[in-house]
A and B are shown apart, each in its own frame.
Chain A
Amino acid sequence: MAAPKIIVVGGGLAGLAAVIKIAEAGGSVDLFSIVPVKRSHSVCAQGGINAAKDLKGEGDTTDKHFDDTIYGGDFLANQTPVKAMCEAAPAIIDLLDRMGVPFNRTPEGLLDFRRFGGTLYQRTAFAGATTGQQLLYALDEQVRRYEAEGKVKKFEGWEFLSAVIDSKGQARGITALDLRTMELRSFSADAIILATGGIGAIFGKSTNSVVCTGSAQSALFQQGAYYANGEFIQVHPTCIPGEDKLRLMSESARGEGGRVWVPRNAGEKRPIKQIPESDRFYFLEEWYPKYGNLVPRDVATRAIHKVVYELGLGLDGQPMVYLDLTHIDRATLNRKLEGILEIYEKFVGDDPRDVPMKIFPGMHYTMGGMWVDFNQMTNIPGIFAAGECEYQYHGANRLGANSLVSCIFGGFRSGPIALAYAKSLAAAEGDGGHGAELARQAEMNKRLLNNEGTENPFKLWRELGATMTEHATVIRYNKGLKRADEKIVELLDRFQKVNLADRTQWANTSFAFARQLYNMLELSRAVVQGALLRDESRGAHYKPDFPERNDEKFLKTTKASFTGSIEGPRFEFEEVDTQFIKPRARSYTAK
C-alpha cells in the first residue's frame, strides 16, 4: 500500500501546525492555500499567545487558565478539549521559542508576559504587537524546511471547492480551483484537514482578511457536515472603522495600561488634554473595578455600545470612544506595541503616543465553526478541522490571546490523528467518488460563467454584510434576525441572476468571488437561524428580550445541518461536557 496522503486546506497557524506534525511523523502532505501561506490571516493576530507558565511569580496554573477560558466562554465549551489545550500551552510556547520566535524578554533573558482580557494573571507571551505574524513565520519556516526536503507539496493559489466523498460517506480527496489558470481538478487523499480560518466576510467589513469568507466551511456544511454554535460571533471592542475593513487595535493596548473613556459631558468642547480626570468617564474601570479595562471582549463591547447608544456619550455624537495610551512613556510603547501604533498612525494619521485613539467595536472572530469530535474529526469520516474554522475551544466568547494557542494546539492534535486514520483506511471502491464530484463542480462553474442576469456579486455581498452587521452582531432581536434571514433568502434568489462582468478563464477574481459568495449566503443562514433559536443571553450572544443565561434549555451545543430547502438549516442540540467545572453565574462586576 502506498504511503498515506493527507491534504491540509489552509496555511495559517492551524494548517501549518498540522503539516509540521504530519511531515515529522513521516507522512506526506499536500498543502492548499488561496494565498502564499506566509500571507495567511494568522499574520494579523497582534497581542500574544496565552500559556500559564507563571514566570511572574503570581501563582498562575494551567488549571486557572482552564477556568478563565471556560468562565470567559460562559460554560458553552466542552471542557475536555479545553483542559487539554490549557495543559499543552506552556510546552507550545517553549517550542515556538525554540523555533526562533522573537518573543519579548525580561532583563534576565526569559520570556516576558503581559495581562490580557478575562484574567487577573500575566499569562500572555508576545512578540511586540505582531505576535501572530511572528508565530506564522516560525511555522512557515519549518514547513519550508520540510518542503525543501520533499515531504510537503504546496498548492498556493488554489482554492478548495469541495470534498470528494465515496459511496460509504468517507472522504477521499478534494476538488480545487487554480485561481490563475481556472483549472478545476480533484486531488486524492486518505484524510483531509480543514484549517480555513474565520468567516468575517459574511459581515462585509470585519477585522478579518479578504480570504476569510467561510466558503470552505460552507461547502462542507452543504455536503453534510455539521456547523456548530454558528451564532457565537465575537465583536472586538477596539477597532478602527475603515472604508475597506475594520482594523484591529489589539487588546494588548489595554494589557499595557491603555484606558477606555469618553468625556462625561456629551457636549464637551475642550481639547482632550484640558479635560481633567474628574470629567473623564472611565466606564470600564468604574463598572468593572477588579478587571477594569481588561474585561472579556463581549463585556467591553456591550459597555461601549451602552455608552454610545444608551447614554449618548459617543465622541462628538459619533459611534466612537477613546482608547488612551498617552500616559505611558514612548519608549515602553515602542518596545511593546509599536506594530499596532504604526497601523493607527498610517491609517488614521494621528500619533497614538500623543493623542488618544478613536475606536469602536467590530466583527472579529467566530467562536462557532465545523462541529468536530474530541479527535478534531467532523461527522464526515476522514475530514478533520482545526483552528478558527472549528467550534471547540472558546464556548460563547473567546478570551484574547487564546486563539493562537487553540490554532496551534488544534493543528498539532489533528495532524497525527489524521495520519493514524489515513493509515487504517481501506482502499476506495471504484474512483472513490472523484468523477461525480468533479462533474458536479464543473456544472456549477459552467452555470455561473454562462449566467445571464443583472446582479453584481460584489453588490450582493455588500447587502449581505450590512444585514448581518445590523442584525447578528452585538445586540440581537428575534424580529431583526428573522428579517436578516428573509434578506439572505432574497439574496440567494438574486444570486441566481448573477452576471459576471468577467467571463474569461484566466485569473478571474469575480468568478472565484461569486463562488465564495454563494457559500457565504448559505452559511449566514446557519448563523442567523442559530441566533434566532437561542432565546437566552450567553457570552457574545446577547438578546435584550432574553437577558439571562438559561442553562436548563440552552447549555447545549447548537448543531446545524444543511437541508437545501427554503426553510434553511435543520437544528439539533447536544449536551455540553461540564465534568470538571460546574457552571456558575458569570459576572465581572465584583470589586
Chain B
Amino acid sequence: MANKTVAFEIKRQASPNAPSVWENFELEWRPGMNVISAMMEIAANPVTADGRGTTPITYDSNCLEEICGSCAMRINGKARMACSALVDNLEQPIKVEPLSKFPLVRDLQVDRSVLFENLKAVKAWVPVDGTYALGSGPRVFPQQQEANYPLSNCISCCCCMEVCPQFNDVTNFVGAATIAQVKLFNNHPTGNVFKEDRLRALAGDGGIQECGFAQNCVEACPKQLPLTEAISDMSRDVLIQKAKDFLRG
C-alpha cells in the first residue's frame, strides 16, 4: 500500500518586490502533523510535488505551542497560527499564504512591527516608580484578576488586524489588539494613571471610531480575547473623555 500523503500549496515570494508564485508539495503523512512540521519536512527535503528542487520556506515561528504569536499565516484562507493547524483537521490541498495586510518580507514572513509601535503610542505599561524594593503591589480581588487575565493573554499575532475590514491604509485603524491592551492597563490600579492619555491616543486618526463592528476579530483570535467587549467599553470611555476634554476647553 502506498503511504498516505498530504498535499500543500504554498505561496512563495522571494522578496518584497518579486512576483509571487505557488508551489505544490506532497509530503508523507505523519500522525499529529501540523503546518509547521510540514514546513520543517520541506526544509529537510526541498523538492516540489513535480520533483523540482526549491528553497526551504521562510516563515516566522518559535514556540510551536501557540503562545509566542510568531507563526500567524493564512491557511485555507483563514488567518490562524500554523503550529496549531493540525493537518488532519484541514481540507486538502492545504493552501498556505502570508498575512495579506502587513509588509511582506519573504514567502510567509511579514513585518508586524506596527503592533509594537501602536503599543508604544498607547503607553501599554504600568509606570512603576522603580525596580528597587518598594513593598507589595496593590490588592487585586480575584474577580478583577479574572477579568484582566484574558486581556493579558494577547500574543500579538495580529490575526485580529488581518481579518478586520477596517484595518487598511485608508482608515489607519489601530486594530483590536491595541484597544484590548488599553482596557487592560486602564483597569490596573496603577496603570490607570495614564488612562486619559491612552483614551486620547485612541480618539485620534485611525482611532477607535474607525471600528465597523464586523466582529471578525473576536472570531479569529486564537486566544479568545474578549475583543468586541473591549472595543465597546473603550468606545464609551473615549466618548466620555472627549466630552470631558470639550468641557474643559
Contacts known (A456-B44, A507-B109); A106 close to B142, Cβ less than 8 A: yes
Chain A residues engaging chain B, CB cutoff 8 angstroms: 20-21, 24, 35-36, 38-41, 43-44, 91, 94-95, 97-100, 102-111, 127-128, 130, 133-134, 137-138, 141-142, 144-145, 147-148, 156, 180, 209-211, 242-245, 247-248, 335, 339, 343, 346-347, 349, 412, 456, 458-459, 462, 501-502, 504, 506-510, 513
A44 touches B14 (CB 8 A): no
Q: Quick one: which of B43, B61, B116, B142 contacts A105, CB cutoff 8 A? A: B142
Can you list 30 pairs linking A and B with CB atoms under 8 Å apart?
A21-B131, A38-B69, A39-B62, A39-B68, A39-B69, A40-B62, A41-B62, A44-B63, A94-B135, A97-B137, A98-B126, A98-B138, A98-B190, A99-B128, A102-B148, A110-B139, A133-B153, A134-B152, A141-B126, A156-B113, A210-B61, A210-B64, A243-B32, A243-B34, A339-B153, A347-B65, A458-B44, A501-B55, A507-B105, A509-B59
Across the interface, which residues of A come within 8 angstroms of B124, CB to CB? 141, 144
In terms of DSSP, what is the predominant structure of the interface of chain B? loop
Chain B residues whose CB sits within 8 angstroms of the CB of A335 once the complex forms: 146
CA distance A233 to B130 in the complex (A): 36
Q: Which one of B66, B86, B137 contacts A343 once the chains associate, using CB atoms below 8 Å? A: B66
Bound complex: CA A473 to CA B147 (Å): 42
Name 7 extra pairs, CB < 8 A, besides A36-B113, A144-B125, A243-B30: A94-B136, A105-B141, A109-B140, A156-B113, A210-B61, A243-B37, A347-B34
B170 CB-CB contact with A under 8 Å: no
* Contacting residues of chain B (19-40) with chain A, CB-CB under 8 angstroms: 30-34, 36-37, 40
B residues 104-153 with Cβ under 8 Å of A?
105-107, 109, 112-113, 116, 119-120, 123-128, 130-131, 133-142, 145-146, 148-149, 152-153
Nearest A residue to B43 by beta-carbon distance?
A458
Shortest CB-to-CB span from A512 to chain B, Å, is 10
A347 engages B68 (CB within 8 Å): no
Partner of A507, one of B54, B86, B106: B106
A128 CA to B152 CA, complexed, in Å: 11
With the chains together, A128 CA to B67 CA distance in Å? 14
Q: Are A141 and B146 in contact (CB under 8 A)?
A: no
B70 within 8 A of A: yes
Q: Is the CB of A107 within 8 A of B128?
A: no
Known A95-B131, A506-B15; contact A501-B54, beta-carbon cutoff 8 A: yes
Query: Which A residues lie within 8 Å of B249 (CB)?
Result: none
Which 5 residue pairs spanning A and B have beta carbons closest together?
A97-B137, A109-B139, A141-B125, A244-B37, A502-B55
CB contact between A244 and one of B15, B40, B123, B146 (< 8 Å): that residue? B40
Q: Is the CB of B32 within 8 A of A347?
A: yes
CB closest chain-B residue, reference A458: B44
Q: How many residues of B contact A (CB 8 A)?
A: 73
B45 at the interface (CB under 8 A from A): yes
CB atoms of A343 and B65 under 8 A apart: yes
Give CA–CA (A66, B78) in the complex, Å: 50
Taken together as a complex, chains A and B put the C-alpha atoms of A248 and B109 apart, in Å, by: 26
**Cβ A24 vs Cβ B131 within 8 A:** yes
CB distance from B96 to the nearest CB of A (A): 15
Chain B contacts to A: CB under 8 angstroms = 14-15, 30-34, 36-37, 40, 43-46, 53-56, 58-70, 83-84, 86, 105-107, 109, 112-113, 116, 119-120, 123-128, 130-131, 133-142, 145-146, 148-149, 152-153, 155-156, 185, 188, 190-191
A24 closest partner in B (C-beta): B131
Q: Which of A128, A137, A211, A456 contacts B62 (CB 8 A)?
A: A211
- Tell me how far the C-beta of A5 lies from the nearest C-beta in chain B, rounded to whole angstroms: 21
Question: Which residue on A lies nearest to B105, using beta carbons?
Answer: A507
- The smallest beta-carbon distance between A103 and chain B, in angstroms, is 7
Give Cα A98 to B138, complex, Å: 7
- Residue from A21, A91, A95, A156 whose CB has the most chain B CB atoms within 10 Å: A95
Cβ 8 A contact of B120, one of A105, A148, A209, A343: A148
Chain B residues contacting A507 (CB-CB under 8 Å) are 15, 58, 105-107, 109
Interchain CA distance A339-B70 in the complex, whole Å: 18
* CB neighbours of A347 from chain B (8 A): 32, 34, 65, 84, 86
A44 B142 Cβ-Cβ under 8 A: no
| Option from A20, A38, A44, A462 in Cβ contact (under 8 Å) with B131 | A20
Neighbouring A residues of B123 by C-beta, 8 Å: 145, 148
Contact indicator B116/A501 (Cβ below 8 Å): no
Which residues of chain B are near A506, meaning CB under 8 Å? 14-15, 106
Residues of B within 8 A of A133 (CB): 67, 153, 155
CB distance from A36 to the nearest CB of B (A): 7
Residues of B within 8 A of A44 (CB): 63, 65, 67-68
A102 touches B120 (CB 8 A): no
B200 to chain A, nearest CB (A): 16
Using CB atoms, name the residue of chain B closest to A34: B62
User: Are A210 and B62 within 8 A (Cβ)?
Assistant: yes
Interface pair A244/B64, CB less than 8 Å apart? yes
**Alpha-carbon distance A510/B106, docked complex (angstroms):** 13
With A35-B62, A244-B83 as contacts: A128 and B126 at CB distance below 8 Å: no
A141 to chain B, nearest CB (A): 4
Most chain A beta-carbon contacts within 10 A, residue among B54, B66, B67: B67
B245 to chain A, nearest CB (A): 23
Chain B residues within 8 Å of A245, by CB: 64-65
Contact between A244 and B152, CB atoms less than 8 A apart: no
Q: Whole-angstrom distance from the CB of B126 to the nearest CB of chain A? A: 4
CB contacts (< 8 Å) of B146 on chain A: these are 335
Question: Are A103's CB and B32's CB within 8 A?
Answer: no
Would you give the shortest CB distance from A198 to chain B, in whole angstroms?
Answer: 12
B126 to A99, Cβ gap below 8 A?
yes
Nearest CB in chain A to that of B68: its residue: A39
Please, which residue of chain B has its CB at the minimum distance from the CB of A156?
Answer: B113
B-side contacts of A94, CB under 8 Å: 133-137
Q: Which chain A residues border B136 with CB–CB below 8 Å?
A: 94, 97-98, 111
Residue of A nearest to B146 (CB): A335
A147 near B44: Cβ-Cβ < 8 Å = no
- CA separation between A97 and B188, bound complex, in Å? 11
| A509-B142 in contact given A39-B68, A44-B63, A347-B86 (Cβ < 8 Å) | no
Q: Which residue of A lies closest to B83 (CB)?
A: A244
In the complex, chain B residues whose CB is within 8 Å of the CB of A43: 63, 67-68, 155
Chain A residue at smallest Cβ distance from B181: A141
Whether A504 lies near B55 (C-beta < 8 A) is yes
Contact yes or no, A459 B56, CB < 8 A: no
